[in-house]
Amino acid sequence: MNYCDLGKTGITVSRLCFGTLTIGPLQARLSIEKGASLLVDAFENGINFFDTAEIYKNYDYLCSAFKNMNPKPVVATKSYAYTKENMEKSLSKALREMGLEAVDIFLLHEQESENTIKGHFEALEYLLRAKEKGYVRAVGISCHTTAAVEAALKYPEIEIIHPLVNFRGIGIRDGTVEQMLSLLKKAAEKNIGIYAMKPLGGGHLIKQAEKAFNFVLSHSFIHSVAVGMQSGEELLFNQAVFSDTLVPEDLRNQLMAKPRRIVVESWCKGCGECISHCPQGALTIKDNKAQVRKSDCIFCGYCGVYCEDICIKIY
């Protein structure tokens, strides 16, 4: 496994980051035992960087896995909190539920623009104070927009950017992948740590996975790449690509044939709550039921969090 320093943070991470959204209740819904076992396998094979978020509802998977990891891996989490009080609750929850004394990286989740960052600055200030006390090692933002990256360059407090990057620009809401990469290069020149998300465009680029991974890895200013994994086979494939080793042909064929799908169950009442929480605008209501525009969906699963009847599922 290859490793890289995350900007000026002093944190060294594997270039392959395990994106844990996929193992939990928003997607694969693995058992705690099975999900934790997969995380331990990844750690034992050189992956020392795990990405999660409060909204993923999977801290218990990580807590279980960490009991079998020594030393502890680098952990990044995120929160939508925008006030001091709510961010304090988010940090306390992360520490308590993952069994940690400190969180390595804490991000403002899904920032959109300078106005969004300004609106969350009270929460960011709380994280900076928590950093001074040793409860957080580095702070930053996650985003799906070029505007948020451009805005982050104005804030010396922001040490980490977690942006959406893939060779087709799938999911970038306000520009092209070329524009995103240009801004990220400027961020790296300011010693900001960068770890990308959605290199496979939420599953749309699975059949071109090696090309997709190598595209992101070819940009040295991207220090690590978060990849969602649900199985040992996916773990083996991704480790091979990120370690510059040959991928077995049978493994490649097996994974290339696996589709990603989002399902709206028949009991959907069409309340529309999911629509306002879809970051890609991929949901509509038709005939009193939620409908998905598959071309716009990046399989993030965020919509499902807000469905009180658990109608929306990703497989």
Tell whether the model's pLDDT for residue 7 goes beyond 90: yes
| Residue 79 CB neighbour total at 10 angstroms | 22
Q: What is the DSSP string of 208-225?
A: GHHHHHHHHHT-TT--EE
> How far is CA 128 from each of CA 122, 134, 148, 179, 233, rounded to the nearest angstrom?
10, 10, 19, 29, 39
Return the biggest CA–CA distance within the chain.
Answer: 53
Residues of the chain with CATH 3.30.70.20: 262-314
Q: Provide the pLDDT for residue 80.
A: 97
More confident residue, 66 or 254: 66
Query: Residue 251: exposed, middle, or buried by beta-carbon count in 10 A (0-12, 13-18, 19+)?
Result: middle
Tell whether the model's pLDDT for residue 203 goes beyond 80: no
Q: What digits encode the pLDDT tens for the residues 80-99?
A: 999 999 999 999 999 999 99
Q: Phi and psi at residue 197, in whole multiples of 5°?
A: -130, 165
Identity of residue 110? E
> Where residue 315 falls among pLDDT bands split at 50, 70, 90?
low
Q: Could you tell me the fold of the domain covering 262-314?
A: Alpha-Beta Plaits (3.30.70)
Query: Residue 63: exposed, middle, or buried by beta-carbon count in 10 A (0-12, 13-18, 19+)?
Result: middle
Half-sphere exposure of 237 (CA within 13 A, CB side): 22
More confident residue, 298 or 70: 70
Task: Specify the CATH superfamily of domain 3-256.
Answer: NADP-dependent oxidoreductase domain (3.20.20.100)
Report whether 142 contacts 105 (CB < 8 A).
no
Q: Find the helix or strand (DSSP H, E) in which 145 lies.
A: none
Query: Residue 309: exposed, middle, or buried by beta-carbon count in 10 A (0-12, 13-18, 19+)?
Result: exposed
Q: Provide the pLDDT for residue 259.
A: 67
Mean pLDDT for the chain overall? 92
Q: What digits encode the pLDDT tens for the residues 20-40?
A: 999 999 888 999 999 999 999
Residues of the chain with CATH 3.20.20.100: 3-256
* Distance of alpha carbon 138 from alpha carbon 14, whole angstroms: 17
Tell whether the model's pLDDT for residue 159 goes beyond 80: yes
Q: Which residues of 11-31 are buried (b: 16+ CB within 10 A; e: fewer)?
A: bebbbbbbbbbbbbbbbbebe
* Distance of alpha carbon 14 from alpha carbon 238, whole angstroms: 12
Helix (H, G, I), strand (E, B) or coil at 69: coil
Q: Phi and psi at residue 113, in whole multiples of 5°?
A: -165, 180
**127-136, 268-277, 299-308: least confident range:** 299-308
Pairing of strands 289-292, 49-51: unpaired
- Beta partners for 14? 3
Q: Provide the pLDDT for residue 308.
A: 67
* Distance of alpha carbon 59 from alpha carbon 52, whole angstroms: 8
> Where residue 279 falls among pLDDT bands split at 50, 70, 90?
confident
Tell whether the model's pLDDT for residue 147 goes beyond 90: yes
> Where residue 114 falls among pLDDT bands split at 50, 70, 90?
very high
User: What average pLDDT does this structure show over 173-192?
Assistant: 96
More confident residue, 51 or 204: 51
Q: What digits encode the pLDDT tens for the residues 225-277?
A: 999 999 999 999 999 999 988 887 888 887 777 767 787 877 788 998 899 88
